[in-house]
Structure 1
Amino acid sequence: MTITWPQALKQFDGYLRLEKALSPNSVEAYMRDATKLQQFLLSQRRHLGPAQVDTATLREFLVFLTDLGLGTASQARIVSGLKAFFEFLITEDLLREDPTDTLAAPKSGRHLPDTLSYPEIEQLLGAADLSTDAGLRARAFLEVLYSSGLRVTELCDLRLSNINATEGYMKVLGKGNKERLVPIGREALKHLNFYLSGVRGHLDIKPGAEDLAFLSHRGRQLSRITVFTTIKELAELAGLRKTISPHTLRHSFATHLIEGGADLRAVQEMLGHVSITTTEIYTHLDRDYLRQVITEFHPRS
């Protein structure tokens, strides 16, 4: 019997609730893990049913999660959920061989940037002194980094003409000069406006920097080093003992969305991990859907 994803997920839900008698929270966690695998296959346009998934595909899925910024502990939990899902398929005679038999949870040996919890994010944001120009700028770019998952270069290159505050979107130029549209949250827009009106508007802006959102105190393009240094200093002020960089905020952005249940494909689009043009963004995922993902799953929506 060939079983489809909707059929398998529905039966798995019933199996967990009735036969395993798991708590609602546990059922939700297991269902989320199985659904993530389905979303991965859809994002890769691979039309495989649950019974057609092999170990190699599952390993590709784990690599995909790593690229999105999910830490090893979170990946290990997802592997546990997948093992339960394929054990169910075996139990129901819907599958003969378990593809998770030789699937090992990722080891912590591979270094990934630390991911901050949401309380730690709030600590970091709160460390910026809003009574100073440097603090207003720092709070603004921290909010933007965490709100939208930008790379540090994308932040430094961000242009005012590419920010649509009314629609809550930014046009970002990423790796390979690929453009993408990224939602920006209300808190980020609020603090960005504080910086633009309270600091940037009073700078002596140098030629060529007129359209750049973030500037040095001398009116030139903000440097990557300044962003790195500022974040490191604020992390120390906040008492955070982790190694924190701009990329930590990008990883936290992705991790918090994914662990909250956001669609992998939407997060993939927002991070710019797929080579897509602006037109293709409208084709695959419309702006209302991306905004809905941020609103529903981002801690600072």
Structure 2
Amino acid sequence: MEWEQLLKDFKRFLLLERSLADNSIQSYLNDVRHLRTYSEMLMRSPDKMTTKNLQDFFIWVDSFGISQYTHARLLSGVKTFYHFLQIEYALELNPVELIEAPRLQRKLPSVLNIDEIDALISAIDLSKAEGMRNKAILEMLYGCGLRVSELVNLKISNLHLDDEFIKVEGKGNKERLVPIGLQAIKYLQIYLNENRVHQAIKSGEEDFVFLNRRGAHLSRVMVFILIKDLANKIGLTKEISPHTFRHSFASHLVEGGADLRAVQDMLGHESISTTEIYTHIDTDYLQSVITQYHPRS
């Protein structure tokens, strides 16, 4: 088995058979490149690697001080690769099949309270050309629970504001309908009708909602920088990112009594267990209420 051809075929498999997004495909390929490095040290092709070889591979990787989460993700990538070899190359024995993932302690995501969200949005300088765009971005991140990739790839043709819904393309190019609140609609329409219409837009970029100064769609990095700058401006000490608004959207819904299945659909989670983490945040909130207000606390 020749590695270069295997990587090309594996990439094609992830794209066509698994319908994964580019970022996910690159993560899987990076996982397999680590395996390639180790297998070449042993001078073994992947089909000749034994379960013991792969156990030693993970011990070798762990020696670099990776986290349990990175270990689990790497194992998932290697398992997917060997599954691909079984399907496409008729590999008879899967050496990674019996290797177990490390037990992970689920980490509760950081969330913002409503006062912090209001402070961040209020810190936006609306006198600048990009001010209303930035306000619409934060309103949509918090009001719709979007991933940053979903936000920057949002299309005008997928806005159904009269029906208070937008269509977004999530992980694996899976589309879903997400309700959008009146506050987010208000500032989105102001941006579209009063600011964006005056921009010179690059050819091929006309359908993207959020544009940079050059008339092209925003990058994920630009949204990260925007939020970091606003956090510094108001002196917020929490480590936040665009995903923090998604966590806050979900946890505030759960705290307010929203049905977990509905939150799952809005977030685009495949498994309800991923959404259930927000019930733990709600428990922490209830505990803080007892601590603060109960006379025997």
Corresponding position of 2:256: 260
Corresponding position of 1:37: none
Q: Deviations over 1:67-110 (max 9, x none)?
A: xxxxxxxxxxxxxxxxxxxxxxxxxxxxxxxxxxxxxxxx9x75
What is the CA distance between 1:239 and its match in structure 2?
2.1
The answer (yes or no) to whether the contact 1:203–1:219 under 8 Å persists in 2 is: yes
* Whole-angstrom CA distance in 2 between matches of 1:223 and 1:141: 13
Unaligned runs of 5+ in 2: 1-103, 272-297
Q: Select the structure with the greater relative contact order (CA < 8 A; seq sep ≥ 6).
A: 1
231, 244, 267: which one aligns with 1:248: 244
The answer (yes or no) to whether the contact 1:147–1:184 under 8 Å persists in 2 is: yes
93, 115, 124: which one aligns with 1:128: 124
Q: Deviations over 1:198-239 (max 9, x none)?
A: 221111100111000001111001110100000110111122
* Whole-angstrom CA distance in 1 between matches of 2:239 and 2:170: 24
Equivalent pairs counted in the alignment come to 168
* Whole-angstrom CA distance in 2 between matches of 1:130 and 1:112: 34
* Whole-angstrom CA distance in 1 between matches of 2:196 and 2:227: 20
Aligned letter for 1:199? N
What is the CA distance between 1:111 and its match in structure 2?
4.4
SS in 2 for 1:182: strand
SS in 2 for 1:209: coil
Unaligned runs of 5+ in 1: 1-106, 276-301
SS in 2 for 1:240: coil
What is the CA distance between 1:112 and its match in structure 2?
4.4
* Whole-angstrom CA distance in 2 between matches of 1:167 and 1:256: 23
Aligned letter for 1:231? I
Let me know the Cα RMSD of the aligned residues: 1.6
* Whole-angstrom CA distance in 2 between matches of 1:167 and 1:128: 28
Give runs of aligned pairs for residues 147-186 of structure 1, distance below 5 A: 147-186=143-182
What is the CA distance between 1:195 and its match in structure 2?
1.2
* Whole-angstrom CA distance in 2 between matches of 1:169 and 1:133: 27
Corresponding position of 2:83: none
What is the CA distance between 1:131 and its match in structure 2?
1.6
What is the CA distance between 1:274 and its match in structure 2?
2.3
Give runs of aligned pairs for residues 72-87 of structure 1, distance below 5 A: none
* Whole-angstrom CA distance in 2 between matches of 1:230 and 1:139: 10
* Whole-angstrom CA distance in 2 between matches of 1:225 and 1:165: 27
Q: Deviations over 1:137-171 (max 9, x none)?
A: 11110000100000000000000010111000000
> 1:269 and 2:261 equivalent?
no
> 1:189 and 2:185 equivalent?
yes
* Whole-angstrom CA distance in 2 between matches of 1:253 and 1:158: 18
The share of aligned pairs that are identical, in percent, is 57
SS in 1 for 2:177: strand
User: Could you state the TM-score of these two structures normalised by the residue count of structure 2?
Assistant: 0.55
Structure 1 outlier segments of 4+, above 4 Å: 109-112
The answer (yes or no) to whether the contact 1:113–1:244 under 8 Å persists in 2 is: no
Aligned letter for 1:261? G
* Whole-angstrom CA distance in 1 between matches of 2:259 and 2:127: 39
* Whole-angstrom CA distance in 1 between matches of 2:110 and 2:222: 20
* Whole-angstrom CA distance in 1 between matches of 2:155 and 2:228: 25
The answer (yes or no) to whether the contact 1:113–1:243 under 8 Å persists in 2 is: no
* Whole-angstrom CA distance in 1 between matches of 2:107 and 2:202: 40
Aligned letter for 1:127? A
SS in 1 for 2:163: coil
* Whole-angstrom CA distance in 1 between matches of 2:182 and 2:236: 26
> 1:116 and 2:112 equivalent?
yes
Aligned letter for 1:129? D
